[in-house]
Amino acid sequence: MLNLSIVIVNFRSWSKLEGCLLSIYQQKQKVKKVVIVDNLSDDGVIEDFVKKFPWVEWVKNDSNAGFAAGCNLGVQNCSSKWFLFLNPDTRLPTDCLATLIPYCDQHPDFHLVTIKQLSESGKNTHPYGVFPNVWDSAGLVRSIHRLIFQPDQTKKAMTASPIAFPHWISGSFILLRKEHFDLLGGWDDQFWMYCEDIDLSKRAEEKGLIRVLLNQWECLHSHGVSSRANKKIKVLTKAEVVKSTHIYIEKHFIGKNKKWAHQWLRFHKSIELTVIGFIDPSKKEILKILNPFWHELFS
């Protein structure tokens, strides 16, 4: 048995979660514990899943407290050497954990680990990125900046060798030792959704912990299932991306950089959502959510 606990936070992702759990059950080596934290799906499905997967430890959250809070709740009763935080819309090859965990055991200098993630069509989804700076909250600026000033962090560079070292790794698959999770103080639950993985990686960097991408291992990841369940949830989660970015800026930026990063994010998002809103009404709904948030932030 692998000295590993797997924690999955779920919100109405039942069809994908079933595939994920079956892939865990079919692993060549069993793991110590699998914990599912259900963030108040409140759709009457969880009871059937509890019966179908009795080997899973089910935690019913009394609110949708977000991904980070769900992860922290999930590990409360876990004492294994390794923690794996996994999205419900992932599926693992049968030999994934049986080979990955021993390999990582042999590399104590690998602290936060992720693997290659493929879409349903087999496309690399690149579950990593560079730490934000003042201006790169705009996607085009981020791409240009990375290409010119951080060529070792481009997608081409990250996939060129079996082992790469990105700035941050996606919360869809993060493997780390319990001792390092405790050192970091867990996930920061002021992030409801998005940027919590960037924040975890940033705090890891500050503690001297290395983030690692292992391209020799891979899993399937159907990105964004929970956040795209319906139009209302999609609007809320798109707004949360912006809110969480502001929270990250407030936490990790200082002085004039903090001020300019906040202002630039509000400026280009306001323009983008207003212009595209003439074509896509959902953008106007996102703007309605953000305007009160911005008013409070900048007042």
Is the CB of residue 82 less than 8 Å from the CB of residue 7? no
| CA nearest to 15, candidates 232, 226, 237 | 226
Is the CB of residue 188 less than 8 Å from the CB of residue 68? yes
Q: Residue 129 gets which letter from DSSP?
A: E
Parallel, antiparallel or unpaired: strands 211-221 and 90-91: antiparallel
Q: What is the CA radius of gyration of the chain?
A: 19
Rounded to two decimals, what is the model's pTM?
Answer: 0.95
pLDDT of residue 141: 84
Q: How far is CA 264 from the centre of its chain?
A: 24
Q: DSSP alpha helices (H): ranges in the chain?
A: 14-25, 46-52, 67-74, 96-105, 139-149, 155-158, 178-184, 196-206, 231-252, 255-277, 281-298
pLDDT of residue 137: 86
pLDDT by residue (tens digit) across 58-83? 999 998 989 999 999 999 989 999 99
pLDDT of residue 232: 84
| CA nearest to 76, candidates 100, 90, 59 | 59
The length of the chain in residues reads 299
Is the CB of residue 128 less than 8 Å from the CB of residue 213? yes
- The C-alpha atoms of residue 275 and residue 58 are separated, in whole angstroms, by 44
| Spans in the chain with pLDDT lower than 50 | none
